[in-house]
Each structure stands twice: as structure tokens, then as C-alpha cells.
Structure 1
Amino acid sequence: MGPGTGLVPGLAAGDRATVLLVDDEAEILTALTDLLEEGFEVVATTRPEEALALLAGGLRPAVILSDQRMPGLTGDAFLERARAHSDAEALLLTGYAELDAVVGALNRGRIAGYAAKPWEPAALLAMVGAARDRHDLRRALEAERALLQGLLENLPDQLSFKDAQGRFIRLNAAKAAALGLEPGACLGRREEDLLSPEAAAGLAKAERDALAAGTASALAEAPPGPDGQPRWLHTSRVALGAGVLVTIARDVTEARRLETRLRQADKMQALGTMAGGVAHDFNNLLTAILGSLHLAGKRVGDEPGLRRLMHNATLAAERGSALTRRLLSFSRQNELAPRRVSVNRLILGMGDLLARTLGTPPGGALELRRDLAADPGAVRVDPDQFELALINLCINARDAMPEGGTITLATADAPIGPDEIPELPAGAYVRVSVADTGTGMPPEVLTRVLEPFFTTKEVGKGTGLGLPMVYGLVRQSGGGLAIDSVPGKGTRVSLYLPAAAAGDEESVPPGDGTARACAPARILVVDDDATVRSVTAGFLSDLGHEILEAADGEAALRLLEGDEGVRLMVADFAMPRMNGAELSERARAIRPGLPILLVTGYAELGALSPGIPVLQKPYRQGELAERVGLLLG
């Protein structure tokens, strides 16, 4: 392959490297330029000083071709100085057998070859092309080395390379830190020698399997971190040949924890739905039981023994009613009365209540501390339910410290970013936390503490609904809950509530608790549960009202169409085929001004039109009388 073909050995099509020519004879530069310009970008100068200035100014040639004998600066001296600015391949041209100059250029200028004048064109062209290829290869290797070094230094995963004997060839700082050493101290050593016998045996088997299969990956539990919590590593191993093994270990602890929290949230939602359904049916039963006991109590006379039995039955049913209220709090289906609340003021106002409630543990003193932020934002929450939630948390904290200890109530503004807490959208929140110095909880207990009826207390000393009630309250209030616990060190429960907007007004609780007397009226009672319908009708009949009964929505609509004397409708919300919301709309279409009262076992009222009052089951006769009196005016 000779001159004039336009091809250079090793030169890719369309790729033109730069060659810097330096010779004090202009005719030689012209001849060299003619030879090389078809395959290279050529820059030529007769003065070595000018060439150095070009290199210092940013010229980046792949090859420098320089004459040796030049006035002022010889070729070997020029190439030595050029090394300060360029990594180009250097070639020397000489017209004499100057072995000393060639040796000097080899030592100081690091030349890659030399050619005698006059040159053979094809040979010189091939020499320049080979020099260009070596330059490109060296640059590519340097780039790969820089990439590998950057990967080693900055990769957060644990990366290592081992030879056929399992000795470290290269490793990054993350891998060395996991072994408690610096990277340099690990080179040439076997990882198995740095581990316990059990861990070393497991590692040896995993690496043998990876070498045999070519690649392998596994998820395994790692030693606990500084926080004492379990850690998880996902390790991938790839065999590169000649026994070389690459290992990449990624810490997936946070991902595992996030997955666990998401599964827990899904489970809590499913349990909440189930709890709401149970509470609905249970409230129907309690309405019938309490109502029947109340009506029967008016008819039994003054028999003390019988009255005592009925009183005991009433107390038991009311305990069941309290249980369903907790279930509804967990399932986030309780009817709340939220208003703007200052968390600091609420906590400070609970001092006497907490002191009376907590008392002193049998084994030692109990200290209650408050670590309140200077001015945390207000929240929108039902203050009575929130007080109850804090009392529940403080009681749990006290019970976790049988030998005494410290309970700390703390508040703080807590802005939350995207995905920081899985169940909460990003935004402004206020954090209220209750921390203790008690026994803490192991992970297997921590994953279940929000399940209803799960308790570690002795039989009869806990219902397992305290924490679920707290969780239900904060979720129904638009917030979330986080629990941090370390066995032997204590537990912190943090409640996150959305910060109230600046213009939020405090809501006024409905009703003043005073029953309204009213004249007898014809009232339509609608309920698919015959026992509940009978109790409601009995309550109203006892108050002097005339009662019509219907077992479903269609029957109720027929009665309304045929009897214009009905002045009020009391209807259950959860009924088959037509629920209370649908019945209310159709009833208002027939009788636009008809007062309607809905009764329900839980607050499944998302589709309800505004302006329709709701009474929660189980209700007493006095509560029903008050609502009816208000509606009849």
C-alpha cells in the first residue's frame, strides 16, 4: 500500500488524526505534507519553538514527526519539552547515523520510532499510521482505566475482582469498609481469611457455584448495622474466565423495609375493611340489645333482682359499643369532629390528665418529659380523639417500663418529601412523638403491632386495639404513623398530621346535647334488620309518635307516595338493593321538604348528599329523641 492511495493502515474511514510536522527545511515539510495529507490532518512548522507554542495552546496531535538536526533546538530536546504538553506518539527523522541523538530521543522524548532521510514513502506512511493506532489504543485504555477507577471509587455497591485463588485483585472502598479494612490492605488476601468459619464456608460455596455456572445472584441477610436493625445484601457474581470472579453486592435493606411497609399498609387496609364490616354488624346487634333492654326496663317494675340483671347486661353491651368504636377508629370509619388544634397547647393541657392516668409503675419512678418545638404548625384533628390517642401511647410506654423510666412527648414541624414515607404525599406536616426508655420490641413484634387484637400483654390486661385506634385516627385525619424500636433501648411512635392551612377556622361541634320536645308526628322507619327496626320504632312510639315501618327502600317509597301525612323518615344507610343515600335522593324527589335522619353502624357515607344528618349506632333513646326533635322543629 503506497502513497497516493488515500488509505493509511489501521485508519478507520472518516477518522482523520492530526500529525504535527517539525523540520527547519520547508521543502521537506512540503514533501511530508504531500505524503500524509490525504490520511491525516497535517500541521507543519519550520520552528520548534512555534510547535511548542501550538502544543501549549491546545493542539492535540496523535503523532509528532520531528527532524533531529535543527538550529537552536535539536529534535530530541524538542520532543523532551513537548512531553510537558502532549501525549502524542513521537517519531524522529534524521539524515545521519546519530545514535546518540536517537538514544537521547528514546530516553527523554520517548520516541516510538525513527526513520532515516531520505525516507521510503510507504514505510514512513505505515510508521505514522501504526503510531496513530498506538496513540488511539493508549487513549482508549486510559479512558477505560479512568472509567474503572471512577467506578471503583464512587460506586456505593461493594465491588471486587478476585483471581483463581480467591485473592483480591481490585476492590472499591465500599467492599473494603464492609471488611473493616482499607482497599490497599485487602489486595492479595483471600476474603475467606477475613471472615468467620461459617461465613467463609458459605462464601466459598457461593463462589464455586458462580464459577461453575458463569453467573449467580443471591439475597442474604447481612450482619446488623449500627442501628441494630437487620441488613440485606443482593450479591451478583460473574466469572470472567481464567478463574477471575467479579462480585457486586448491593445493600437492599431500605428497599426491603419499604416493601415490608407497603405490605403492612395493604394488610392494614384489608384488616380495616374487615373491621369496619364487623363493627357494622356488631353495632346492629348492640342497637337491638341496648334498645330492647331500655324498653324492657320500663316494663319490669321495681323488681331489684331483675333490674340488676338488666343493668349488668346493659353495661356489658356498652362495653361492646366501646369496643366497636375502637374498631372503627382503626378502620378509619369513625365519625370525627376535626378542628384547628395547636399540638403544643393540647399536650400542655393534658398534664393533670396524664399524671392521674399513668400513676407510678410498681418497680420505680416514672418521669414525663416534654420536648416541644418553639412554634410548630397547627393541625386539623378531632382534639378529643387525639387526646385519647396520646393517652393510649403513654400507657403503652409506661407498660413497657415496668422498672420505671422516661416518657418523652415531642413536637416538631416535619416537611416530608416525595416517597419519604410511603403512605403520605409530600407536604408540610407536624410530628408528635411519644418515646420511652423501655424494653423495646423485636422485629417480629414490630411488624404486627398495628394489627387489631394483637397484644403482647397478659390475658385481660390489653385488648390489642390501642395502637390500631391511634393508627386509624391519624390515617382518617390525613396523616401517618411510624414506629422505631430497638430491643432493650426503647420505642418511639411518631404521628404525622398535615399542617392546617393558615385560613382554617375552628369547626363548632354539632348539637348542644339538649333534647328537644316536639309534638307527636307520623314517622317512617326504614331498616332491613327487623330487630333494629323494631327497637327504633319502639323508641319513637314510646315518645308518642305514630310509626310506619318499611323493610327496604322500595317499600318506603311506596308508603311515601301513598301517605302525605309522614313528617319524618328515619332510615338505615346500609341496606341491600337501595342504600340510605339513594333512598334519600328518591324520597326528596317525591317529598322535597321531607326531613330525613340516617342511622348507620359505621361512617360509610361518602356518597351522601350534604344536609342530611347521621346518627351512629348503637344509639340511646335520648339521642334519637334529640335528633328527631331538631328535625321536627
Structure 2
Amino acid sequence: MTEEAVPGGRATILLVDDEAEILTALTDLLEDEFDVVSTTRPEEALGMLAGGLRPAVILSDQRMPGLTGDAFLERARSYSDAEALLLTGYAELEAVVGAVNRGRIAGYAAKPWEPAALLSMVTAARDRYALRHALETERALMRGLLENLPEQLSFKDAAGRFIRLNGARAAALGGTVESLLGRRESELLSDEAAARLARAEAGALAEGAVSELVEEPGEAEGAVRWMQVSRVALGDGVLVTIGRDVTEARQMEGRLRQADKMQALGTMAGGVAHDFNNLLTAILGSLQLAGRRVGEDPGLQRLLRNATMAAERGSALTRRLLAFSRRNELALRTVSVNQLVLGMGDLLARSLAGPNGTTVEVRRRLAPEPVTATVDPEQLELALLNLCINARDAMPNGGAITIATEEVTVAAEQVPDLPAGSYVRVTVSDTGTGMTPEVLARVFEPFFTTKDVGKGTGLGLPMVYGLVQQSGGGLTIDSRPGQGTRVALYLPAADGAAAQANGEAQEVAPAREPVRVLVVDDDATVREVTAGFLADLGHETVEADDGISALRVLESDPSVRLMVADFAMPRMTGAELSERARAMRPDLPILLVTGYAELAALAAGIPVLHKPYRQAELAEHVAVLLG
């Protein structure tokens, strides 16, 4: 039987007296305020307590056969913490003193008792019991809070000494709770840190409550930990301090800010690449068409080749921009990563020759089992080449680059922004100069480079970042000054049954029968180049500079057999034009050309040709569409 006692509330009282008449009288007096349990035998009372009876008050007679009241109350302490009261029919000071010493009685009353006085004494005992239990509960809660709270919690007196602190705070100060109680925190700090602490605590005592963000050294070398420290004055100079580790939250905020910045930069980069691709389409197309008209003049042919090579470099630049902005359409397929790395041997040997005769050694540490990933092999090859070139440039006196592959299982939150699952990790490590934290924080920004003017575009790492993100993977970089750099690419693992190192485009013969083709583009130079390519293939062309004009042509000219339209046009996009053209001419083949591909916005089932394109690529698509 268990009872809870609250001040002024109903509780259980145990009455013990060898005279039944006394018990009846006591019951009559107390039963309105208490749940009364009584017995004439002290041994039976002890059995009740041992069996689980939890009274708030025990009222016992002193003179009882076999076991006196003081002896009974002493033994009752083994089972109960109830308030103990003694009744005695004799003015025996010695018995009362013994009961106080052994039974820890809270009071006594003489027989015969005065009813109001006895009731008041018993009620006060009940309230003391309730208050004592409430205080013990509060203490237990405080101990539990102190011991289990992950935050660092401490209380200090007016002299700055610890009066309470939890294990987390003690561990942070390099001690234990027991060793730090009564000590001043300033004794454990440097003079500079102690002065800062004194200023912070003085501010809290003056203002009532203050909060600050504090930077502290982390566990790993060079790492930083951020603590949100709140101080609250409780009065009489007592100060409570709560320190919460917010390092993970700040890192998450940093990643979110970086993601927002990368998205904004990606949008800008995609727009720049789109406009640049229009220019390159006109330049490369015009050069290709001009090359067939200048004859065999070697000087002019050389100039055209130089111009074409420069434009091709511009095309590679836009591919990097598009990879960063994640607006290029990757040719994802199952790729044997080990075969791809081994197949880059000659390319790396030609590309990594160090300046001034320095030697750059390429080491490979490939997984013994086949590792296959879902990725665009050409983009992965370009990404690895960029990483290796960056590594070479970070080793002006030569060094070693290590390319490693392995299949790993990534847990949730193990790699930032990467879902849990199986991945192929491709690591490129160097023994170079490494990067400072300031440079490391900006390496994914497009056009940011630490290389001399003319020696770097600042698009290598942004392109790699875009590739892994668009492939459904992730990327980490570890770098410190003087300790080299390690870049790890996490690519979604794939079934190796259909793995290949790379793929070759199938040759498609151009159409043998010329047809009438509608060319739609708001850029006149691009439209002219596209029409020129088609004319060289033997087709007849009709041009339109926007979607409305194109619809008029389709409505008035039934001889049009194919439409080639730009995707990004004002007022009506190529996707919208395609839908309206299909409504008019359901059997009309359509080809969309674009400087970037927002695939979700394209009409279903319409092929896409990416700018800048060559005449052979256009011919291949046209041949397929015309069957």
C-alpha cells in the first residue's frame, strides 16, 4: 500500500498501541483527516511496513509488552521514512530521549492527550513529511537534470565559486564534479580567458541575462567548436551558466548558405553558358561552312583551323559551366570506374608533365573487385583530369598524385547532403601545398582561382561539383597548408553487369532524299548557320525568327517535312511551339536545339541537340527523324 502525501492533503497514519480502546479513541480523532491503519502489536506493524505500507506518520505508544515504542520506532526506520510520534502515559524523560536518539521521533504527547493539540501535532508531522518528500523529489530532478543534460550547466555563488555543475561542464574544464565544487573557474583559465570570463559574468549580473557565441578549439587539430553560452543572474550574486554546442548547427547553416550561393551561381552560369553557346554555334558553324569555300589556300586554312581550335576551347569552357550549373544533360550509364581510370594513362601522362622538368608521379590504388558506378563517363574522365591538373599545379617542385577507388557504404549524415547507401568513392590525393581554410571555403565558386592570370579558369572544381551532384553523388575535400589535398567523389554504385569504360556514338547516315525544313531561332546568326548546315546536306530551308511566325509557316506551307527549333526564345519557348505544332501537324518530326536543357520543361518525346553542334551531329538527328 503506497500513499502520496501533499501539504494539507490526505495521507496514511499507522497507529500502534497495545490497548484497543486507545486505538479506537485515536481513530475517532484522526479518521476525518487520515486513512488510519492500526494494530495492537508492534511486531505486526513491522510486518505491515516490510510488506509495503507507506504511512506519512507513525504514532506509537511507549509502554507496550515485548517491544517498547522507542525500540519499535528504531526498527521501523529500516522500512519507512515516516514522521514518528510517541505517546507515553508517564513523564519518563529517559524514554523520550531514547526514542529521539534511536527512533528519531518528531514529537511526543502525554496520555491523556488534549485532542486539538494532538491533532495539530499529527497534522504538522504529515505536512513535514510531504514537504520533505517534495524537496527530495526536486533534488532528484535537479540531480537527474545535471547528470543527464548534454548542455554544460553550472551555478556559481557571489564569489564565483561553483556550487553546482554537471558532468558535461566538469569534463569541458578538464575535471570532475567533485574536484571542481567550491573552486573558481578563473583558476582553471589563462589570464586572458579569465579576464574575458570576468567581463562576461559582470555583464550578466548587471543586465540579468546575456547570451554570446564563443569560439573554442575543437578536439581535432585545427578544428573549431562553437558554443552558445547563456548566463542568467538569480539574485544574491548567484549566476547560472548554460553552454550549448552549436557547431553542427553552424555547419548546417554554412552548408545551406553555400547551397543557396551555389544555386544562384549555377543559375547565372547556366544563363552565361546558354548565351555563349549561341555565339559558339554561329562561330563554329560559320567557320565550318567557310572552310569549304576558301579552297586549298594553306594560309587561310591555317587561320580557320586556329579560329576553330579557339572556339572549341570556348565550347569546353561552356561544358564546364553547364556541369557546374547542372543544366547539361548527362549521359548516365553503368561505368567500370577502374577501367576508366586505367584508360586515362596516356592522357594523364601527356597532361601532367611538370614545368621546368619537374616530375609528377601518378599512382593508382584501385579496388581489387570491379567497381561500377552510374555516371557520365566522359564527364567523369574530364573531372578526374581537372583534379589531377589541379594537383599538379599544387606541386611546383614535383610530387605524387594518387587515384584510388573503392566501394563504400555511407551512413546517413556521414557525408554532407548525401543520402545513405552504396557508393563508389574515387579519391584524388596529392602531396602539394594544400589550401588555407579561406581558400577551401571558396573552391566551388565559378571563376575563383588562385592561379596566375591566364593559367586557370576557376571552373575545374565547380564542374566536378556539378557532375557529382547531378549524378546523385557527393564530394568532400580535405586540405591543409603544407599537407596536400584529398578530393573524394562519391558516385552511386551500380550493377556491374553492363559496365563499360566509355561509349562511342553510333554512326548514322544522313537522309538521302532532301526535304523542306523549317528553322526557328530568334538569333539570326545561329539560324543562318543551321540553315546553311541543312542546305549543305541538300535540304531546302525556310526560316522563322519566333514561335508565332513558325506557326504561320506551318499553317500556310504543308510541304514542310521537319521543324528544327531553338528551345529558349522570347514570348514562346521551343517546348510551347512544339506542342502547338503537334496539335496542327501530329506527324511532323521536331528537333529542339538548346544551349542548356531544362529537361522537365521539354515536350515529351522530342529529341534535343545541344549547342554548339557540328554539321555531322545535326545530320545524324535529321536522318533519324526522317527515318
Q: Distance in 2 between matches of 1:228 and 1:400?
A: 21
Partner of 2:219, secondary structure, is coil
Q: Distance in 1 between matches of 2:338 and 2:43?
A: 78
Q: Distance in 2 between matches of 1:491 and 1:105?
A: 79
Query: Is the CA contact 2:400–2:430 (under 8 Å) kept in the aligned structure 1?
Result: yes
Residue correspondence of structure 1 range 136-175 to structure 2 within 5 A: 136-175=130-169
Structure 1: which 5+ runs fail to align?
1-8
What is the aligned partner in structure 1 of residue 617 from structure 2? 623
Which of 134, 138, 141 matches 2:128?
134
1:6-26 Cα distance to aligned partner (Å, 9 max, x none): xxx9943xx311111111221
Per-residue deviation at 1:342? 4.8
1:179-198 Cα distance to aligned partner (Å, 9 max, x none): 22222222222222322222
Per-residue deviation at 1:551? 0.4
Partner of 2:230, secondary structure, is strand
Q: 346-355 vs 440-449, which deviates more?
A: 346-355
1:553 is aligned to 2:515: no
What is the aligned partner in structure 1 of residue 407 from structure 2? 412
What is the aligned partner in structure 2 of residue 584 from structure 1? 578
Per-residue deviation at 1:234? 0.7
What is the aligned partner in structure 2 of residue 50 from structure 1? 44
Per-residue deviation at 1:433? 3.8
CA spacing shift, 1:349–1:510, aligned 2, 3 Å: closer
CA spacing shift, 1:296–1:358, aligned 2, 3 Å: closer
Residue correspondence of structure 1 range 186-335 to structure 2 within 5 A: 186-335=180-329
1:103 maps to a residue whose letter is: V
What is the aligned partner in structure 2 of residue 5 from structure 1? none
2:605 maps to a residue whose letter is: G
CA spacing shift, 1:182–1:366, aligned 2, 3 Å: farther
1:368 is aligned to 2:391: no
1:602 is aligned to 2:596: yes
CA spacing shift, 1:122–1:265, aligned 2, 3 Å: same
1:389 maps to a residue whose letter is: A
Partner of 2:182, secondary structure, is coil
Query: Is the CA contact 1:162–1:170 (under 8 Å) kept in the aligned structure 2?
Result: yes
CA spacing shift, 1:223–1:71, aligned 2, 3 Å: same
What is the aligned partner in structure 1 of residue 567 from structure 2? 573
2:296 maps to a residue whose letter is: D
Per-residue deviation at 1:295? 1.6
Q: Distance in 2 between matches of 1:406 and 1:620?
A: 36
Q: Distance in 1 between matches of 2:387 and 2:469?
A: 16
1:416-436 Cα distance to aligned partner (Å, 9 max, x none): 43x665634555555444444
Per-residue deviation at 1:383? 2.4
Per-residue deviation at 1:574? 0.6
Partner of 1:531, secondary structure, is helix
Partner of 1:30, secondary structure, is helix
RMSD: 2.8
Per-residue deviation at 1:253? 0.7
1:365-412 Cα distance to aligned partner (Å, 9 max, x none): 746353648687x54222232233233334434544556356352433
1:331 maps to a residue whose letter is: S
Which of 12, 20, 31 matches 2:14?
20
Q: Distance in 1 between matches of 2:507 and 2:55?
A: 94
Q: Distance in 1 between matches of 2:403 and 2:535?
A: 53
CA spacing shift, 1:398–1:25, aligned 2, 3 Å: farther
Residue correspondence of structure 1 range 37-116 to structure 2 within 5 A: 37-116=31-110
Q: Distance in 2 between matches of 1:74 and 1:356?
A: 105
1:148-180 Cα distance to aligned partner (Å, 9 max, x none): 112222222111111112122222222222222
1:392 is aligned to 2:372: no
Q: Distance in 2 between matches of 1:146 and 1:490?
A: 53
Partner of 1:414, secondary structure, is strand
Structure 2: which 5+ runs fail to align?
none
**What TM-score comes out, normalization by structure 1 length?**
0.91
2:269 maps to a residue whose letter is: A
Query: Is the CA contact 2:334–2:495 (under 8 Å) kept in the aligned structure 1?
Result: no
Q: Distance in 2 between matches of 1:183 and 1:22?
A: 45
**What TM-score comes out, normalization by structure 2 length?**
0.92
